[in-house]
Homo-oligomer: A and B are copies of this chain.
Amino acid sequence: MRTLTLNNETKKNILNDLLKRSPNNYAEFEGRVNEIIANVREKRDAAIFEYTKMFDKADINASNVKVTEDEIKEAYSLVDEKLLEVIRKAKVNIRDYHEKQKRNSWFDSQENGIILGQKITALHTAGVYVPGGKAVYPSSVLMNVLPAKVAGVKRIIMTTPCGADGKVYPSTLVAAKEAGVDEIYKIGGAQAIAAMAFGTESIPKVDKIVGPGNIYVALAKKAVFGYVSIDSIAGPSEILVLADETANPKYVAADLLSQAEHDEMASAILITTSKELAEKVSVEVDKFVAKLSRKEIIQKSLDNYGYILAADTLDEAIEAANDIASEHLEIVTKNAFEVMTKIRNAGAIFIGEYSSEPLGDYFAGPNHVLPTNGTAKFFSPLSVDDFIKKSSIISYSKEALQAVYKDIVQFAECEKLTAHANSIRVRFEEE
């Protein structure tokens, strides 16, 4: 890992480097994605089955697109008993944390008969996309489904690509069943996103689509935004450790590598006020990398987007952390909670030396679907809020409206909207 001195120039260069991980050649894929979406809107089932044959080499049709109870039973028989046990423990923690995010409808009343409020309603139907491909992440299923379940979404469907044999990974099916998914469909890619956005004979139209995916899936989600709601577009994983001389270099090194192993675009950054820690972490990183099974991915990720930055002051280190706005931020310093108060931008904040980042990936309860690539400046972790919507409530008595009606008429007339003015006036003035 490169060790650099933190200053405005290194910070600027690093920020530029990190942003390069956002795909800038969208155009190349956009045409293809738009074609898939248009085809699915028009030909519906026929289109999705054709694409499934083409991309996933699987013969899927209206009679086998939906995963059956028997297939789920089979999956349970194939999944390690211990994994099932951990899935169930994690589920309880994730559910309990998200329960605390639930909000009440509220109203405020005044004695003249005014009631104003906000009504919370869960979305009716949510669609969760689960990628197939290289790695299988049952934890991702839990993290995407459980907030919808806690919010009270009536119908939760899942789409995921199957293998050429028409089968879905057993651990995906088991995690889906445990999390409470109502229906699972064996389609993937942009065609699955389009199917959920517009509906087909087999796939229901949903209100919101969530879940990670490759560039086709990401672009398809962006394209259907507005027809349905979507979560934010996920990017490569990131960790930033903010540490002083009290930190254990071995723990810090191990935590940095836990994110670097995700993929070659992942980023792991240490910012520390201790030159000694910087040196020790660098040594520990090298020792660990040599022993880890995903060492090639880790090394590339560290070469490209791994940094150890030595800062003169803690304030300077904190400011850099806010500028980088990392997906995961660990604070391993004296008075770590005090430092936390100064953090404005981070997806999830891990405080203290026993709050290792993977604790949050699997187990603690907060969501692991987090804003990446600087978007923690404006996006939030996936939450119950993503699966509810609000309606304003307005109720005025005759007395209350009469007291202000001339003001409203005045405002409407200034905006030259005379029918607006008329609708208020007609209640109080004879023509």
A363 in contact with B116 (CB, 8 Å): no
**Is there contact, CB below 8 Å, between B378 and A228?**
yes
Which of B255, B347, B363 interacts with A391 by CB under 8 Å? Answer: B347
CB neighbours of A419 from chain B (8 A)? 254, 257-258, 260-261, 288, 292, 294, 298
**Complex contact A393–B124 (CB within 8 A):** no
Of A80, A365, A389, A404, most buried by chain B (CB within 10 Å of CB) is A389
The digit string for A360-399, where 1 denotes a CB below 8 A from any CB of B, is: 1111111100110001111111010100011111111110
Whether B423 and A254, one on each chain, are in contact in the complex, defined by CB atoms closer than 8 angstroms, is yes
Tell me whether A293 is interfacial, beta carbon within 8 Å: yes
Given A118-B101, A422-B257: A359 and B408 interface contact (C-beta under 8 Å): yes
CB distance from A221 to the nearest CB of B (A): 10
By beta carbon, the residue of chain B nearest A388 is: B380
Q: A195-234 interface mask toward B, CB cutoff 8 Å, 1 = contact, 0 = none?
A: 0000000000001100000000000001001101100110
| Cα(A123)–Cα(B366), bound, Å | 21
Interface pair B225/A422, CB less than 8 Å apart: no
| Complex contact A352–B422 (CB within 8 A) | no
A410 partner, pick from B82, B115, B116, beta carbons under 8 A? B82
B116 x A408 contact (CB < 8 A): no
Q: In the complex, how many angstroms separate the beta carbon of A28 from the nearest chain B beta carbon?
A: 14
- Among the stretches A70-78, A83-91, A311-319, the one at the interface with B is A83-91
Which A406-428 residues have a C-beta within 8 angstroms of B? 407-408, 410-412, 414-424, 426-427
Cα A426 to Cα B417 in complex, Å, equals 69
Given contact pairs A118-B101, A207-B378, A352 touches B393 in the complex (Cβ within 8 A):
no
Q: How far apart sit A124 and B164, CA to CA, in the bound complex (Å)?
A: 49
CB pair A108–B100 under 8 Å, yes or no, is yes
- In the assembled complex, the CB of A35 is this many whole angstroms from the nearest CB of chain B, namely 12
Q: Interface stretch among A180-188, A271-279, A337-345?
A: A337-345
Q: A261, B427: Cβ atoms under 8 Å? A: no
With A251-B423, A375-B226 in contact, is A412–B358 under 8 Å at CB?
A: yes
Q: Do the beta carbons of A356 and B427 come within 8 Å of each other?
A: yes
Cβ-defined contact, A376 with B354, below 8 A: no
Assess whether A357 is interfacial by the CB under 8 Å rule: yes
Q: Count chain B CB atoms within 10 A of each CB in A90, A123, A359 and give the residue with the most.
A: A359
CB interface residues, A 301-349, toward B, < 8 Å: 336-337, 340, 343-349
Given contacts A226-B375, A356-B427, A391-B376, contact A135 B349 (CB under 8 A): no
Q: Is the interface of A mostly helix, strand, loop or mixed?
A: mixed
Question: Does A139 interact with chain B (Cβ within 8 Å)?
Answer: yes
Contacts of A251 in B (CB 8 A): 423, 426-427
**C-alpha spacing A394/B380, complex, angstroms:** 15
- Closest chain-B Cβ to A382's Cβ sits at a distance in Å of 10
Interface residues of A in 76-125 (CB under 8 A from B): 80, 82-83, 86-87, 89-90, 97, 100-101, 106, 108, 114-116, 118-119, 121, 123-124
A400 at the interface (CB under 8 A from B): yes
Which B residue's beta carbon lies closest to that of A373? B226
A394 touches B359 (CB 8 A): yes
Question: Residue A389 contacts which of B233, B360, B380, B393 (CB distance < 8 angstroms)?
Answer: B380
Closest to A289 in B: B419
Question: Please, what's the 1-or-0 string for A156-172, where 1 marks a CB less than 8 Å from any CB in chain B?
Answer: 00000000000000010
24 CB < 8 A contacts A-B: A86-B411, A101-B118, A116-B366, A119-B340, A121-B345, A123-B377, A135-B416, A136-B415, A251-B426, A258-B422, A261-B418, A262-B417, A294-B417, A337-B395, A340-B393, A343-B391, A345-B391, A352-B396, A355-B395, A355-B396, A358-B424, A366-B394, A379-B389, A380-B390
6 residue pairs, one from A and one from B, having the closest CB atoms:
A366-B392, A261-B419, A351-B395, A254-B423, A348-B392, A229-B378
Additional pairs, 14, CB under 8 Å, beyond known A123-B377, A294-B418: A97-B108, A97-B116, A222-B222, A229-B375, A229-B379, A346-B391, A347-B391, A353-B427, A354-B396, A355-B394, A361-B420, A363-B408, A364-B396, A383-B390
